[in-house]
Every structure is written in structure tokens, then in C-alpha cells.
Structure 1
């Protein structure tokens, strides 16, 4: 599409340029013919009699040399006065021998380069144009400058009066602009008509996309074939994104409902036990009061964990969390996480194995956050499988440190595997032990990514799951 569109555009531009150039040549020739015809006689006379160059070339007749003394005739002086000119005569050595009406500050001695400068450039002032002539007297040759003080007089290849040139240019430029504009307008009209018709359809399609009308399907033909194809593709992608957005919104609403329920349940317990404990009608024993206090503490800690998950997830997602990295032995950290998990009375009977390639593997990391990520991943392997699951945790040293968490549990479906790290997602295998925010896996992934690491999950339904982390 790019080459076709560019080719047509270039063809139209070339056509316009050719027509404009031809028309300009015709207009220029006509203008020159007319100008030459009307000015021929006057120009010819002026060229022969009164032009600056003609005056200079014949002025040697007005120079008188006698007894090594120089002067000019009265006729020559009158001619110089008439044309507001001056003369300076030099000998072969560049020394001034005579001057008439010389401007103030003019040189009296010239080197050859000075003579060239005087003739080639305006060395006197911006209003004076200097011409050079010569006179032979016996065996000696004399040169002379004649300077014409006339700002309208210019010396190039030809000599012309700027006022006449400006007049001709003004008239000619107006005619040329009119003709060129008409040519460009005619060619541009037919070219733009071919281009703008499909563009109108594209603009209408883009307007519909902007209004969230994603059911657009153009036939990809013509010079804009690729554009139509990409608009169709964009429409398809936007439809898919809108469908995904609605699905995410529904999942978010479901997650909010679940979290709200999970928060209300411990709050209700805390409130209920607190009301019972403060009611004077009840006379609880010390053991009962401790039991109630333990329940309140456990529910409070649960609420704290959920709130911390929400806060941490938001900060990680918005990159607002500052990492406090230190050189830490990752083997010791992961081993302690495994030990702490097994020391939890809820998971004391679980079958967990820990292995490592080196006793010390130091990694620059935020120890608290990495501990949180590993804990979440191990916790996920526990709560999504039955009591008989075997979990193996290992740390290996390589080009990058690798941490693996493997289990031989239920595994996951493909659709679950694709969404395991999504915020607000809870898998279908979640058991009663998993009453949290639903952000554990997303938080773990965000922590690993924040450290510049990678996390991958492989799972086969009925055969278990393997999580690999590289730091």
C-alpha cells in the first residue's frame, strides 16, 4: 500500500511539476518577447551611448596625457558630472596619477589583488558600482576606475535597471501564480478525488471505533487495502478487549463480593464475642475469656493480612514500592520459609521437601518481599491441593538463581493457568483453608518482576504444578 500510494502521489506531483514548468517556460518566452520588442530600440541606444559599461569603455578618448601629465577633457568631466560618476587613473605600478570627483578615503596605491577587489566587489559603498577601463600611451599602459553612484545600477553578466526588472517581475509573477495555481488545482482535484473517497469511509470507521462501535468489516481493496485490513484487525482486537474488560469487571465484582464476605465473617465474630464479653449478664470463666480473646486475635490478624495484601498489591501495581535490597543468602531465606510453614499447626502434617545446590547463594533482594512471594507460592500449593500432596522446594545456582516449587497435586486447567497471576482471580480448586484476598499469586508475580526476575508456571491437570523463579 505504501508504494502504491506513494507512487500515485509522486506521479501526480511530477505531472503538476511538468505542467507548471512548461507553462512557466511559455510565459517566460512570451514575456521576454514582449519586453524585448518594446524595449529593444531604447536598450540598443542606451547600450551604445549611455550605459555605464559603454561610457567606461570609450572614456579613454577623454583622457589627455602630455609630458607625463594627465587630465581629462571638459566633455569627459561633464559626462561624469551628468552620471554622478568619478574617475581614478593608475599607472602600471598601481599608483594614482589623476582623479576627478574622487570619494573621500579612496586608495592612492593598488596592488593587483586590490584592483580585482575594486572591480569584483563594492569596495566604496553600497550605492557605487565601479567599472575598469584602460588607455595606451606609447609603450605605457594606464588603467582607470570609473565609479557610478547609482543604487539601481547592478553589474552581473548583463546590466539592468532594477526598477524595470521589478516591474516586469511583479506582472509576470502574478500571471505565473495564476496559471500555476489553476494547473495544480485541476490536477490535484482529480488526484484527491481518487484518494479521498476511500478516506471518507476510513474516517467514518474510525469515528465508529471511537464511539465503541466495534462491529466494522471493510473489504480490503484498492490503494488503501492495507489500511482497511488494519482497521478490520483493530476492530477485532477492540471487540476482544471489550469482551475481556467486561469479563474482568465481572470477575472484579465477584472478587469484591467474596472479599467483602470474607471480611464480614471475621468482623461479625469479633463483634459478637466482644459484645458477649462486655455484657454484664454473662459470667464467663477465665478459660472462656481466653478462648474468646484468641478467636478475636486470630480474626484480627486475618483482617490485617487481607488489608496488607490490598495495600501491597496497589503499591506494586503502581510501582510505588521502594525496594530495600541487601545481599542475602537466598538458601537460608527459603529454608526458613519452609520451616515456618511446617511449624504452622495447620500445615504440620504436610509432606514438604527442601533441596539446594549450594549452602550459600547470595542475591541482591528485598528480603521481606521475597519472603512474602515464596510464602504465597508455597501457601498456594498447600491450599489448592489435598493433605496428601507432596511439595518440593529447591534453590539452584546458575547464571541466574533458580527457585522451584513443585507439587504432585491436582494441577490446573489451561484457562486457569493463563489467569493464575491475574489480580482478583481465585482458582476453582480453592479449599476452605484459602479465605484471603485472592491477590497472593499476583503479589508474588509483581514482587519477582519488581526485582527484575521472571516467574513461569507449568501445570498438567491431575499431575501437579511446577513454578520456576529466576532472580
Structure 2
């Protein structure tokens, strides 16, 4: 059972952990796909950004697009967007410059889009349907490099071999840390602005091509623009490591790789944290009960059996079940709890047995010492030379000595019998007899004793025979012992009714009911203890103090059991019950 519970518990927990990892992986993958899409949009707003703008945007009652987040991305991208109707009219404009028309002639727009006619912006045309409405989006952007070169050509003035710019252009060039050169048709410098001393004054065709194509050559970037009106070429150079905007555009890893590395790292880190938390949870959930059980077993090994009491109080809920953290080890802890109770009971029984043994030894010693003292006393009297005893006195001394030796012999025989009965070493043969006849004969034999005179003893048997297998000497000894116990320990004239009853379900029983003084619960509890009631041999030599012990052993040896019911002042009922089992 516990193996199955462990298997189910661990399988369930592993499944939950797997589901958590799967959910975590799905979340990270969704995040990575979203980042990939954002990267692609940032690199090329058209067409992905436009398509996403249309598909995710809200549409108002006039059919206009509302999406502030993607429009902000459009502004960051540096582009603009116009929504056109089927006739080319502009319905909406987003981040548009002032030089754009409010209406496009359809044929002319196609020429702009295909590059057949000059247009100051690079155009993208996107047509998409949403909510049964066809949206036509015109996307445009202007290169910052083109804008800068056009501004330099328009704003720059060549005077001798120097170039003069307006303050706003100088501010822009200073932000880039750049310098400017103007070259003639042969690539020779005509004029310059803030040119460092190590900068070449002329460039071949190959050098210009390599510098403009490889932006990181010598750590310098170069942009050029040819002016067809003057036939001059304007070139601007800037250090790549100083231009913050340019440096930010060259990461150590491309964006997709960075996202993948971050996503995989986040998954591994999350999985590691999850397993750490799971390990701590396992240690707390399973480690604490295991340590508790081990400490409990160590206490049992040291003889401390009181832990089960504290366990019942602290480790169980109000319903008596083990608390949640200990429930999986319920069978183990119940077994240890039962073992602790049994060990405690055994220890108490051992202590009680030791006390009974000491009392029994003290009682036997007393009862053997008393007749021995009498025998020793009379022997000294017979041995004394200064006394001359008559024949009658000698006979009286001998009679007393004989009585004491008979008592000691009976005591020793009873001790031997109880030992042999307890260990089952008496080979006897049971006989199938009529219990009615056997009981009547045993009562007559027991009551023939002279000391029973004055006692009212009556035997009642059923009219029909009750056949059972018994050993007659033992049966007679049981009847004799119970009658003697009732007569000797009650006042003179005590009456007793002995009744044989056939039980309706199975078996039979004999009730020995007296009207004596009765017994208290303590006496009943110890009635069958060895030598619990020591008799004074001066007053009676009939009892050895083992009568009821022998009675119980004989009844059990014949397959029965004995029960006692008594109250002080109301008499006692001792029943011997035989079920035949």
C-alpha cells in the first residue's frame, strides 16, 4: 500500500513538474516569437508592421484605424503612414511630413511606387482587408544618410579651400564627430571642413568604393553624395566608436541570437530554480517525517515509549488522522505507534510480573517458613535432654510435624502442577462423560470435608444429559478449589448454589454462586495471580495460596475459560465456560 502511494505521489509530482516546465517553455517560446516579430518590425516596418497595425488595430465607427502602440513604433522607425481610399484620397495620416500630398493620382502613385517617377521617399504599398473593409496603406521613409548629405550640399558654401555651414548643421556634425570633404571629378579634394591632418587629400575610385561599402574600415565610416549640378562629390567621415547611434546599431550578437540565448538561458535558469524549490519542498515534505520516524525509533531503542502519546497529540488532526505531511507514512507511523504501545504494555507487564514475583516469593517463603519453624521448634523440644516427654506428648508433637510436612508437600505439588500446566507438559487422556453426573459426584466428594459442616451447598443440573470430553481428576480439582475458595474466605454458614447450564448457542457452563461478603475490583483483578492470598498456616493448612491459579490453568487446559462477577456485600459468581472450540 505504501509503495503504491509513493509511486502515485511521485508520478503525480513529476507530472506536475513536467507540466510546469512545459508551460514555462511555451511562455518563453511565445515571448521569443513576439521578440522576433518585434525585431523584424523594427528592421522593416513594411510590410510586417503595417499588416500587424491593420490586424490588431481597433476600428472606430468611421472605419478609421486606432492603434497607439504600433503608431509609436512607426514614429520610432522614422517612417510615415497614410491610409487611402479607392480614389487615392488620404483618409488618415500618421507621422507624415509636410511635403506629402493630400491626394494621389492612381497612375502617378504607381509610378512613384515602382520608381518610374522621382519621389523624395522610399514607398511601400500594402492592401489588406479587415471587417469587410479594404484598407490601402502607403508607407514611406527617408534615409537619415540621404537627408544629411542633401542638407550638406544645400547648406554648404565653398570659399577658397574651406567649407562654411550654418550653426544647425555644425551642431549635427559635431554630434557625430565628423568632418567633410568636397572632391572633384578626379577624386581630388577641392575644399574641406575640420579635416584631420592624417586624412587623405585624394581618393581613387577603388578607395571610395571600399570606404563607402565597408563602414568600419580604419574605424571610420564614410557617406558620399554626388551633386550633378556642380559635378562635385561631397564626402562626410566619422569615427565609428564615437558615434553612439552607429555603435548602438552594431551589437556583439545579432538580435535573433540574443533573443534565443536569453530565452534558453531564462528557461534553464527557471528550470534550475524550479528544481531547487522542488528539492526543498521534497526535503521538507519527506525529510521531516523520516527524521521524526528515525528519532522515534531511537527513543524506542532507548526504552522511551512515551513518544506515541506526543505523536497522537501533535501529529494528528482533530479527526484522529495523521496530518498531511505525515499521511504518506501513515502505515509506518501506525505500526511504530502500535509497537510503542505494545512495548510500553510489555514493560508495564514485566514490572508488574516482577512485583508479583516478589510478592509471590515473599508469600511462599512465609508459608514455608511458618511450618518449618513449627517443625524446627518441636524437633528442638524432642532433642532437649533436660525434658522428659510423655508418650502422649510425643505423639502430639509428631502429629503437628506431620501436618506441617503435609502442607509443605501440598504447596510444592501445587507449584509443580501450575508450572507443568503453564508449559503444557502433562500428558492426559480426555474422556467423553456426562457432565451432569460428573458434576454431582464432584460436589458430593468436595462437600464431604469436615470443615464444610454448616455450609449450605446445593447442586442443580439439567434433566437432559450434557456429554463432553474432560479429564475427571482435573474437573474434580476445579470444583473442589472453587468451593474451598468460597467457603474458606467467607464467614461460617455461607451458602452456595452450583448450577450446570447448557448454553443455547454452543457449549455449557457451570455457575458457582455464593452469598458471601463478595470482592472488590482489586481483589477480582488479582484473584488468579500466583499466591496473591497467602493463608496463615496456623489457622488453616488446606490452602496453598495457588488454588485459583491452578483452577484457571485446569479450566483452560480442558478448553474452557473462567469468569468472575462480584460486588462487596452481594456475593460472588464464578463461572467456568466451555464452548467446545
| Residue from 434, 445, 448 that aligns with 1:340 | 445
Aligned residue number for residue 452 of structure 1? 559
**SS of the counterpart of 2:287?**
helix
1:440 aligns with 2:542: no
Aligned residue number for residue 296 of structure 2? 205
Aligned residue number for residue 415 of structure 2? 310
Over residues 440-468 of structure 1, what are the superposed CA-to-partner deviations in whole Å (9 max), with x where a residue is unaligned? Answer: 21221121111111222111221011112
Tell me the CA shift for residue 199 of structure 1.
Answer: 0.9
Aligned residue number for residue 455 of structure 2? 350
**SS of the counterpart of 1:204?**
helix
Q: What is the alpha-carbon distance in structure 2 between the residues aligned to residue 211 and residue 266 of structure 1?
A: 46
Aligned pair in 2 of structure 1 residues 192, 437: CA closer, same or farther (>3 Å)? farther
Given that residues 306 and 437 in structure 1 are in contact (C-alpha distance below 8 angstroms), is that contact kept between their aligned partners in structure 2?
A: yes
Aligned pair in 2 of structure 1 residues 253, 362: CA closer, same or farther (>3 Å)? same
Given that residues 384 and 431 in structure 1 are in contact (C-alpha distance below 8 angstroms), is that contact kept between their aligned partners in structure 2?
A: no
| Residue from 387, 393, 401 that aligns with 2:498 | 393
Aligned pair in 2 of structure 1 residues 393, 5: CA closer, same or farther (>3 Å)? same
Tell me the CA shift for residue 370 of structure 1.
Answer: 1.7
Q: CA RMSD in A?
A: 3.7
Tell me the CA shift for residue 359 of structure 1.
Answer: 7.8
Tell me the CA shift for residue 308 of structure 1.
Answer: 1.4
- Give the TM-score normalised by structure 1: 0.56
Given that residues 368 and 408 in structure 2 are in contact (C-alpha distance below 8 angstroms), is that contact kept between their aligned partners in structure 1?
A: yes
1:408 aligns with 2:515: yes
Aligned pair in 2 of structure 1 residues 337, 282: CA closer, same or farther (>3 Å)? farther
Over residues 184-206 of structure 1, what are the superposed CA-to-partner deviations in whole Å (9 max), with x where a residue is unaligned? Answer: x9999668633233112211111
Over residues 219-265 of structure 1, what are the superposed CA-to-partner deviations in whole Å (9 max), with x where a residue is unaligned? Answer: 21334244556645654554454334323322321121011010011
Q: What is the alpha-carbon distance in structure 1 between the residues aligned to residue 402 and residue 296 of structure 2?
A: 60
Q: What is the alpha-carbon distance in structure 2 between the residues aligned to residue 364 and residue 212 of structure 1?
A: 47
Q: What is the alpha-carbon distance in structure 2 between the residues aligned to residue 421 and residue 345 of structure 1?
A: 26
Over residues 58-117 of structure 1, what are the superposed CA-to-partner deviations in whole Å (9 max), with x where a residue is unaligned? Answer: xxxxxxxxxxxxxxxxxxxxxxxxxxxxxxxxxxxxxxxxxxxxxxxxxxxxxxxxxxxx
- Give the TM-score normalised by structure 2: 0.47
Aligned pair in 2 of structure 1 residues 296, 434: CA closer, same or farther (>3 Å)? closer
Deviates more, 1:398-407 or 1:274-283: 274-283
Aligned residue number for residue 25 of structure 1? none
Aligned pair in 2 of structure 1 residues 361, 293: CA closer, same or farther (>3 Å)? farther
Aligned pair count reads: 307
Over residues 347-397 of structure 1, what are the superposed CA-to-partner deviations in whole Å (9 max), with x where a residue is unaligned? Answer: 222221122224854431111122222211111111221112111122344
Tell me the CA shift for residue 286 of structure 1.
Answer: 2.7
Flag the structure with more relative contact order, 1 or 2, with Cα contacts below 8 A and sequence separation at least 6: 1
- In the alignment, structure 2 segments of 5+ residues that lack a partner are 20-274, 316-322
Aligned residue number for residue 421 of structure 1? 528
Over residues 121-157 of structure 1, what are the superposed CA-to-partner deviations in whole Å (9 max), with x where a residue is unaligned? Answer: xxxxxxxxxxxxxxxxxxxxxxxxxxxxxxxxxxxxx
| Residue from 393, 400, 418 that aligns with 1:288 | 393
Given that residues 407 and 544 in structure 2 are in contact (C-alpha distance below 8 angstroms), is that contact kept between their aligned partners in structure 1?
A: no
Tell me the CA shift for residue 410 of structure 1.
Answer: 1.3
Over residues 391-447 of structure 1, what are the superposed CA-to-partner deviations in whole Å (9 max), with x where a residue is unaligned? Answer: 112234454232221101111222322332233433999995487443321221121
Given that residues 363 and 531 in structure 2 are in contact (C-alpha distance below 8 angstroms), is that contact kept between their aligned partners in structure 1?
A: no
Given that residues 392 and 407 in structure 1 are in contact (C-alpha distance below 8 angstroms), is that contact kept between their aligned partners in structure 2?
A: yes
Q: What is the alpha-carbon distance in structure 2 between the residues aligned to residue 377 and residue 420 of structure 1?
A: 12
Given that residues 418 and 550 in structure 2 are in contact (C-alpha distance below 8 angstroms), is that contact kept between their aligned partners in structure 1?
A: yes
| Residue from 206, 221, 224 that aligns with 2:326 | 224
Over residues 277-301 of structure 1, what are the superposed CA-to-partner deviations in whole Å (9 max), with x where a residue is unaligned? Answer: 3545443333222222221221111
**SS of the counterpart of 1:364?**
strand
| Residue from 372, 382, 386 that aligns with 1:267 | 372
- In the alignment, structure 1 segments of 5+ residues that lack a partner are 19-184
Given that residues 383 and 430 in structure 1 are in contact (C-alpha distance below 8 angstroms), is that contact kept between their aligned partners in structure 2?
A: no
Aligned pair in 2 of structure 1 residues 298, 428: CA closer, same or farther (>3 Å)? closer
1:298 aligns with 2:298: no
Aligned pair in 2 of structure 1 residues 275, 455: CA closer, same or farther (>3 Å)? same
Aligned pair in 2 of structure 1 residues 10, 464: CA closer, same or farther (>3 Å)? farther
Tell me the CA shift for residue 306 of structure 1.
Answer: 1.0
Q: What is the alpha-carbon distance in structure 2 between the residues aligned to residue 10 and residue 441 of structure 1?
A: 62
1:370 aligns with 2:461: no
Aligned residue number for residue 355 of structure 2? 250
Aligned pair in 2 of structure 1 residues 436, 205: CA closer, same or farther (>3 Å)? farther
Given that residues 364 and 531 in structure 2 are in contact (C-alpha distance below 8 angstroms), is that contact kept between their aligned partners in structure 1?
A: no
Q: What is the alpha-carbon distance in structure 1 between the residues aligned to residue 399 and residue 465 of structure 2?
A: 39
Larger radius of gyration: 2
